[in-house]
């Protein structure tokens, strides 16, 4: 056909092309074409979803084997973050700060309030610009959920320092319907040194410090000043916070 086209014989080239078309348009070729179309349809309708399922299954299996976070069982080798049972919140503040502070007293008051023994009441003065806080030693009834939380908190041991503050608050609130006004709350100040000493004794007794904190600081101060009195005992090591045994 190409030779006839090069020679300019278009009629002859067209006849050759028609003969090749007639030779290809046979029932056998039509059956082969129909069979190829059926195979293509089967591959597209069945093979593609099957390949997708296999791919998703392989990804899921790989995630189950390598990508999923492991499940930790309750075992002695698994360390769980949490405070020791005997460590009270106020004692924890003492250990973190290295000494007793106003923050330790505030933490003790919050610990007592979390048990339902006291409640804080906010008072506003000067058109609401000045705010003060009083303490109610008889908080009254609360909703069941709050009461359940208070009972859970009260199941923990209350430290000796916290018990001193609680007794002082109950004594201050013995009148006036159990309410301690902000001005009267200043009478709690003389009890703070005793609270500090009780808290220091608690952390030393529990093993969080190896010696009395104030005495150790005084010895360190004398050592820094170069005080070498002959009757003075050698300066002891500074207090060291450590985990309980």
Q: How would you write 30-60 as a 3-class SS string? A: HHHHHHHHHHHHHHHHHHHHHHHHHHHHHHH
The pLDDT assigned to 217 comes to 60
Higher pLDDT, 25 or 206: 206
- Are the C-beta atoms of residues 191 and 229 closer than 8 Å to each other? no
Domain ranges across the chain: 2-66, 89-225
Task: Find out whether 86 and 244 touch, Cβ atoms under 8 Å.
Answer: yes
| Chain position carrying tokens 């004398």 | 222
The rounded percent of the chain whose pLDDT value lies above 90 is: 30
> How far apart (Å, rounded) are the C-alpha atoms in residues 111 and 158?
9
pLDDT-based confidence at 164, cuts 50/70/90?
very high
At residue 27, the pLDDT reads 80
- Which comes out higher in pLDDT, residue 193 or 18? 193
pLDDT-derived band of residue 236, with 50, 70 and 90 as boundaries? very low
Average pLDDT value for residue range 94-107: 90
14 vs 221: which has the higher pLDDT? 14
198 Cβ contact partners less than 8 Å away, ≥ 6 residues apart: 159, 160, 161, 164
- Average per-residue pLDDT in the chain? 80
Q: What's the pLDDT score for residue 218?
A: 54
Share of the chain above pLDDT 70, in %: 78
Residue 237 in this model has a pLDDT that exceeds 50 = no
Please state, in angstroms and rounded to a whole number, the distance separating the CA atoms of residues 179 and 177.
6
* DSSP string over 184-218: GGGGGGGGHHHHHHHHHHHHHHTTSSSS-HHHHHH
Dist. CA 199–CA 177, nearest whole Å: 30
Judged by average pLDDT, the poorest of 31-40, 97-106, 223-232 is 223-232
pLDDT at 231 over 70: no
Dmax of the chain from CA atoms?
136
The model's pLDDT over 1-41, given as tens digits with 9 standing for 90+, comes to 677 667 777 777 777 777 777 777 778 777 888 888 888 88
Q: Could you tell me the pLDDT band of residue 232, with boundaries at 50, 70 and 90?
A: very low
């Amino acid at each position: 056909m190409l030779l006839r086209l090069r020679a300019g014989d278009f009629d002859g080239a067209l006849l050759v092309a028609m003969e090749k078309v007639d030779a290809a348009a046979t029932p056998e070729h039509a059956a082969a074409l129909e069979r190829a179309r059926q195979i293509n349809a089967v591959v597209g309708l069945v093979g593609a979803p099957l390949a997708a399922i296999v791919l998703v299954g392989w990804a899921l299996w790989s995630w189950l084997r390598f990508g999923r976070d492991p499940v930790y069982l309750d075992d002695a080798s698994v360390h769980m973050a949490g405070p020791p049972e005997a460590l009270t919140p106020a004692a924890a503040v003492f250990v973190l700060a290295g000494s007793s502070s106003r923050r330790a007293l505030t933490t003790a008051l919050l610990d007592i309030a979390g048990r339902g023994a006291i409640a804080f009441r906010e008072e506003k003065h000067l058109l609401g610009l000045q705010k003060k806080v009083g303490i109610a030693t008889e908080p009254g009834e609360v909703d069941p959920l709050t009461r359940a939380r208070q009972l859970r908190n009260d199941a923990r041991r209350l430290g000796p320092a916290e018990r001193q503050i609680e007794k002082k608050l109950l004594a201050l609130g013995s009148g006036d319907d159990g309410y301690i006004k902000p001005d009267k709350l200043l009478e709690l100040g003389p009890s703070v040194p005793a609270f500090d000493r009780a808290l220091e004794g608690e952390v030393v007794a529990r093993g969080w410090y190896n010696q009395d904190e104030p005495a150790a600081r005084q010895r360190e101060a004398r050592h820094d000043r170069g005080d070498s009195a002959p009757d003075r005992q050698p300066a002891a090591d500074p207090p060291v916070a450590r985990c309980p045994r």
